[in-house]
């Protein structure tokens, strides 16, 4: 038998009464599991009767293990019977006195998913940053990126070094006939005109042929990082090993046809379309986030601490993953910043609480509006995820576990919630900031 006490809007106390026969069965199992670990004088290990062990160590010797045996069954039954949604782990708060042949009582407390009191969410008014307008310069930049990506590296065999060539060279530097540290290298690459080497070095290599050797007369800058070399005249003996150059294709109809378009104009139009579609997607996300934040602000809910800590854990795991991608360990980051993991977690507690509230509010709207995605909507979400991961839809669908499909189903449901919010919302874009400086100058 189980009774429930409401501690708060997000925490309950469950009082259990386990029938004597059921608990005695658990005690017998606990005895059988543990008797081999207990030494009793006069008995071989594992052969001492239960009553002998209890007389020696006390009647409670097997109670804790018996509770571990009986708890999962009675707890699951109580959760199902009372339609509770626990979050976090339950904690024991009270345990009755064990008497053989009598019912056993104990109590636990556990956080539960709280009820949300929804505010306005169907007719929200939000103001967002204006949608990005795609300019011709942005299209040109994208085209230049694609031209560079299509560029070819060509080995030079019939001419000498020229600007923008990449040269593979050996060099040995000296000051007053004495080699200096770091002044000698072999097989180095240098793009002529890049300014990578000291002034005069690259210019003097122009006109050299493959295999040619030459002494370059240069002068180190007065502000050179090495004080021993700053302002000194030097000689570099160089040898050209090879010459290459990068051939960037022309932006013409031939290039457009390589991209599956007949003309450059069609190619440019497609790039504009892609950029505008991306701008629209980003704007839609901005609007959805603003509406979710507004609906969340209008709702009232008590957030369980366990849910907040779970969200903080997600934030820190994501942070740790991004650090790992950059070659940095969380331990090193904490050392550099002089923080403990607990202090870092405390910094993200407000963000974790907001995330938990958003999750609860979206779930409450979904339930209030009975928004469940149909099969086509779930499949569309699966297809989008497959595309993001660069996988074939059929192969990706077949690989999904039940849990992964459930996650994507929930994602499709949340999208329906967002669509509902947008359908009744009044969305305005913030006015572009005026060029105040110019206006003030005109006023003067």
Q: pLDDT per residue over 308-367, tens digit each? A: 999 999 999 999 999 998 889 999 999 999 999 999 999 999 999 999 999 999 999 999
CA angle 269, 270, 274 (to 5 degrees): 120
Residue 57 in this model has a pLDDT that exceeds 60: yes
What topology does CATH give the domain 2-112?
Alpha-Beta Plaits (3.30.70)
Instruction: Classify strands 166-175 and 178-191 as parallel, antiparallel or unpaired.
Output: antiparallel
Where do you find CATH 3.30.70.1050 in the chain?
2-112
Mean pLDDT of the chain: 92
CATH of 152-247, one of 3.10.50.40, 3.10.150.10, 3.40.640.10, 3.40.47.10: 3.10.50.40
Chain segment 388-436, per-residue pLDDT in tens: 889 999 999 999 999 999 999 999 999 999 999 999 999 999 987 654 4
How long, in residues, is the chain? 444
Tell me the C-alpha distance between 236 and 200, whole Å: 11
Q: Mean pLDDT over residues 269-289, rounded?
A: 96
- Please give the share of the chain, as a percent, with pLDDT higher than 70: 97
pLDDT score at 143: 96
HSE of 30 in the Cβ direction (CA atoms, 13 Å)? 21
Cα angle for residues 57, 58, 64 (degrees, 5° grid): 95
pLDDT digits (tens, 9 = 90+) for 107-161: 999 999 999 999 999 999 999 999 999 999 999 999 999 999 999 999 999 999 9
Rounded CA-CA distance 409/401 in Å is 12
Alpha-carbon distance of 418 to 414, in angstroms, equals: 6
pLDDT band at 100 (very low <50, low <70, confident <90, very high): confident
Residue 201 has pLDDT above 90, yes or no: yes
For residues 377-409, b (16+ Cβ closer than 10 Å) or e, as one string? ebeebbeebbeeeeeeeeebbeeeeeeeeeebb
Residues 6+ apart with CB under 8 A from 280: 131
Is residue 190's pLDDT more than 60? yes
Q: Predicted confidence band at 78 (pLDDT cuts at 50, 70, 90)?
A: very high
Task: Please state, in angstroms and rounded to a whole number, the distance separating the CA atoms of residues 202 and 194.
Answer: 8
pLDDT the model gives residue 443: 52
Whether the predicted pLDDT of 442 surpasses 80: no
């Amino acid at each position: 038998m189980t009774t429930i006490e409401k501690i708060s809007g997000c925490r309950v106390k469950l009082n259990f009464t386990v029938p004597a026969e059921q608990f005695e069965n658990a005690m017998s199992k606990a005895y059988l599991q543990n008797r081999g670990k207990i030494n009793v004088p006069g008995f071989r290990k594992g052969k001492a009767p239960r009553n002998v062990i209890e007389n020696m160590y006390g009647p409670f010797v097997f109670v804790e293990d018996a509770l571990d045996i009986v708890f999962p069954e009675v707890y699951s039954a109580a959760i199902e019977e009372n339609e509770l949604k626990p979050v976090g782990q339950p904690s024991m708060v009270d345990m009755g006195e064990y008497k053989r042949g009598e019912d056993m009582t104990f109590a636990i407390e556990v956080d539960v998913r709280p009820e949300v009191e929804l505010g306005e969410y169907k007719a929200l008014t939000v103001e967002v940053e204006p949608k990005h307008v795609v300019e011709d310069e942005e299209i040109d930049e994208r085209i230049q990126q694609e031209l560079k990506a299509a560029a070819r590296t060509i080995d030079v065999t019939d001419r000498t070094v020229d600007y923008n060539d990449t040269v593979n060279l050996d060099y040995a530097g000296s000051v007053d006939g004495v080699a200096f540290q770091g002044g000698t290298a072999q097989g180095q690459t240098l793009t002529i005109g890049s300014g990578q080497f000291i002034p005069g070095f690259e210019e003097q290599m122009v006109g050299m042929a493959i295999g040619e050797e030459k002494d370059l007369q240069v002068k180190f800058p007065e502000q050179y990082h090495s004080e021993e070399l700053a302002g000194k005249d030097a000689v570099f003996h160089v040898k050209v090993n090879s010459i290459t150059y990068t051939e960037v294709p022309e932006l013409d109809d031939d290039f457009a046809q390589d991209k599956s378009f007949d003309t450059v104009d069609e190619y440019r139009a497609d790039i504009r379309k892609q950029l505008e579609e991306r701008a629209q997607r980003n704007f839609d996300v901005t609007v959805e986030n603003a509406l979710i934040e507004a609906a969340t602000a209008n709702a009232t809910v008590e957030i369980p601490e366990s849910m907040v800590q779970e969200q903080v854990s997600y934030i820190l795991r994501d942070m740790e993953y991004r650090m790992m991608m950059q070659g940095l360990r969380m331990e090193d980051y904490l050392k550099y910043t002089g923080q403990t993991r607990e202090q870092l977690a405390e910094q993200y507690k407000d963000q974790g609480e907001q995330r938990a509230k958003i999750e609860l509010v979206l779930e409450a709207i979904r339930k209030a509006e009975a928004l469940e995605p149909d099969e086509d909507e779930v499949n569309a979400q699966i297809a989008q995820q497959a595309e993001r991961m660069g996988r074939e839809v059929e192969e990706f669908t077949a690989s999904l576990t039940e849990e992964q499909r459930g996650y994507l189903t929930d994602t499709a449901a949340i999208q329906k919630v967002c669509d509902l919010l947008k359908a009744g919302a009044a969305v305005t874009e913030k006015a572009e900031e005026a060029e105040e400086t110019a206006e003030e100058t005109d006023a003067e």
